[in-house]
Structure 1
Amino acid sequence: MTGDSLDALFDAYFGDKTLEEQEAIRKKHGTELAVLEAPQRIREICIDLLRHYQEHIQPDASRP
């Protein structure tokens, strides 16, 4: 996701807030959002989901 699309997403969610409220949201959650959306973090989550599926869901799918 590029900076422009993040800005558009932010505006879609918080466009009805005042500029002061928007700034407070950016200060409180801006860094956390960047970390959560970091490509390496997303990759690790996907690997974990796949591993969980292979170990817990897929074996049950073959049962009658």
Structure 2
Amino acid sequence: MLIYVEREPAEQSALHLTLDKPRLIRLLGGDLSPEGMTIDGDLSVLQACLGVLDPGDPDFEIVVP
């Protein structure tokens, strides 16, 4: 679960991203291009974070008859 809390980033943060919701959805879908994001810090932190997420199952049945 990801939780959004609006606050100033800590000074010792390894990475700070600024992006809108559609860009976040693309990011979580695997689009790591910097377009639409402001990146401040070590981008490898993001790659490590996303590396623990399982890919979605495109055949997942949301509604089962």
Pick the TM interval, shorter chain. 0.3 to 0.5
TM-score, structure 2 normalization: 0.32
Pick the structure with greater CA Rg. Answer: 1
Which structure: greater helix fraction? 1
RCO (CA 8 Å, sep 6+): is it higher in 1 or 2?
Answer: 2
Whose strand fraction is larger, Structure 1's or Structure 2's?
2
